[in-house]
Amino acid sequence: MKQIILFFAFLFTVNQSHSQENLPTDYLSKEFHKGRREAFRNLMPANSVAVIFSYPERVFSNDMNYKFHQNPDLYYLSGYKEPDAVLLIFKENQGTGETYNEVFFIRERDPKKETWTGRRLGIEGTKSQLGFTAVYNGRDFKDFPINFKKFDKIIYDKIPTDLNANQTGFDLFGLLQSFKTKAGITTNDNTSLDLFADITNSLREIKTPEEMELMRKTVKLSCIAHNEVMKAVGPQMSENEAEGIHTYIHKRYGAEGEGYNPIVGAGANGCILHYEENNSTKIDNQLLLMDVGSEYHGYSADVTRTIPANGKFTEEQKAIYQLVYDAQEAVFKICKEGTPLIDLNATAKEVLAKGLIKLGIITDPKDVKLYYPHSCSHFLGLDVHDKFTFKGPQSALKENMIITVEPGIYIPAGSKCDKKWWNIGVRIEDDIAIKKDTYENLSADSPRKWQDIEKLAAEKSTFNDMKFPKI
């Protein structure tokens, strides 16, 4: 009996005290998210409603899920980080008497489940912490008095079709089914999808001051991690160990994790653009390409550095590295408002092609694509490949965009060039905030010049002195 009483007392405690102490104080504020909803609403057409769902949970193994990652659009507009939710934003006020222009249906609190899978905000938490007024449990969505058919336009993102139901009827599967029934939707409406993309792309491509602050943090701590590996690396280190240093540094500074699967490739592995196994047991005397960026409060860095495992570049490695560096410097010079997006990659290709011809690796400028198969830049923010508006060749950089600049050269074994170049893969990637007449390199804290990399590699890392038992 005593054990039963204690159990229910514990449940009562969880139910009454669901706030967590010692949380970070630099999350985006509820005022920020409210401002983003207002900005979204301003771009909506008359007599319209926007419907934004959370992302689904995904099975990792048997009855265990992957760590949940929220739909960035929903997080941007609400700050809500739990699954099984849907946010409705109305262009005009709805209802009579006490009107509303948004309503949020969220995951219901459940003290028993919270003892297993963690605290939930619930209705009151969503109101007090996120600043919403009209908040309901997901189970209320099905019968909520809203006539979707009265709107001239329903704005929503692509509806996922690969969801499993949890039998409650108000998980994400149930919310989607209720929406489709209430709105009379059987297939995705491309005009609604296009409008949703137009609105979210135009908002998210321009970073607010609050977002810029978080981006500076996530990039800075990523640079610290890269620098620590530069000091700690050696021929006997494994790719996995190098990745682990990044992960530790990210967590040490409060990041939730990485913004994408880390790419840590030695030698030939560095010539695989999205190499993710990171399981080579020794780097040996090769180059180590590390494309690793933290995710801090939802915002992702994307930094790549290529370093020699023994601290010194060979002449061939140095030649390729300098070429990539020169291409990056050329692109930096045009990083400012008004530069056409297509000019970024064109500039990188021109420098790389000339350099490869000079080194005797290619003879025709068109063959640069053999060793530089990707583009030079992408947008960065809540997604590592963040949203942006592209309207053909006239699309240009704007102030407060954040882009990557990441030229690279990859020469796998068997390439039609002198064998001395084989298995040299080099990418240098920095995160750039666009200004009116110039740029800000957010990742400038991590050295890019080969001379500076060799200088830092000569320093000792805290990780060099760590000793662990053999297994």
Q: In 10 A of CB 373, how many CB atoms?
A: 10
Read off the pLDDT of residues 352-396 as tens digits, 9 standing for 90 and up. 999 999 999 999 999 999 999 999 999 999 999 999 998 888 899
Whether residue 301 sits in one domain with residue 185? no
pLDDT at residue 126 is higher than 50: yes
pLDDT, the chain, mean: 94
Q: Residues 218, 236: one domain? A: yes
* Residues 324 and 353 reside in one and the same domain: yes
Whether 1 is covered by a domain: the verdict is: no
**Rounded mean pLDDT of 154-181?**
89
For residues 336 and 363, state if they share a domain. yes
Burial class (CB in 10 A: 0-12, 13-18, 19+), 440: middle
Does one domain contain both 326 and 268?
yes
- Chain segment 15-51, per-residue pLDDT in tens: 444 567 899 999 999 999 999 999 999 999 999 999 9
* Residue 312 burial by Cβ neighbours in a 10 Å radius (0-12, 13-18, 19+): middle
Q: For residue 136, is it within any domain?
A: yes
Q: How far is the CA of 208 from the CAs of 221, 318, 321, in angstroms?
A: 20, 39, 35
* The total number of structural domains that make up the chain: 2
Residue 9 lies in a domain: no
| pLDDT for the residue 20 | 76
* pLDDT level of residue 147 (50, 70, 90 thresholds): very high
- Confidence band (pLDDT; 50, 70, 90) for 150? very high
pTM of the prediction?
0.94
Residue 126 lies in a domain: yes
60 and 190 inside one domain: yes
Judgement on whether residues 105 and 77 belong to the same structural domain of the protein: yes
Answer yes or no: do 152 and 235 share one domain. no
Q: Are residues 343 and 315 in the same domain?
A: yes
Task: Answer yes or no: is pLDDT of 97 > 90.
Answer: no
Q: How far apart are CA 441 and CA 290, in angstroms?
A: 18
C-alpha pair distances (Å), 23 with each of 19, 27, 32: 10, 9, 18
Residue 63: the pLDDT is 87
What CATH number does the domain containing 162 carry? 3.40.350.10
The yes-or-no verdict on residue 2 having pLDDT over 70 is: no
CA distances to 119, 132, 410 from 425, rounded to whole Å, are 45, 50, 4
130 and 250 together in one domain = no
3-state helix, strand, coil in the chain (%, to 5): 40, 15, 45
Task: Show the CA angle centred on residue 322, arms to residues 319 and 328, nearest 5°.
Answer: 145
* Structural domain contains residue 436: yes
Asked if the structure places residue 118 within a domain, the reply is yes
Confidence of residue 4 (pLDDT cuts 50, 70, 90): very low
Find the domain containing 414 and state its range: 209-465
Q: What is the pLDDT of residue 19?
A: 64
Q: Per the domain annotation, does 337 fall within a domain?
A: yes
Q: Which tokens is 73 given?
A: 């659009």
CATH of the domain at 282: 3.90.230.10
pLDDT confidence band for 14 (50 / 70 / 90): very low
Percent of the chain's residues with pLDDT above 70:
96
In a domain, 3, yes or no: no
pLDDT score of 470 more than 50:
yes
As a whole number, mean pLDDT of residues 170-178 equals 93
**Residue 214 sits in the same domain as residue 200:** no
Confidence class for position 12, pLDDT limits 50, 70, 90: very low
d(CA 412, CA 394): 36
56 has a pLDDT exceeding 60:
yes
Using the 3D structure, point to which of 173, 204, 235 is the last residue of a domain.
204
Given pLDDT bands bounded at 50, 70 and 90, which one contains residue 159?
confident
184-227 pLDDT, tens digit each:
998 888 999 999 999 999 999 999 999 999 999 999 999 999 99
Report how far residue 248's alpha carbon sits from residue 260's, in angstroms, rounded to the nearest whole number: 15
What are the φ/ψ torsions at residue 87 (nearest 5 degrees)? -110, 130
Can you give the pLDDT at residue 68?
A: 94
Residue finishing a domain among 159, 184, 204: 204
Same domain, 253 and 389: yes
**64-68, 253-257, 370-374, 430-434: segment of lowest average pLDDT:** 64-68
Q: Decide which of 168, 186, 204 is a domain's last residue.
A: 204
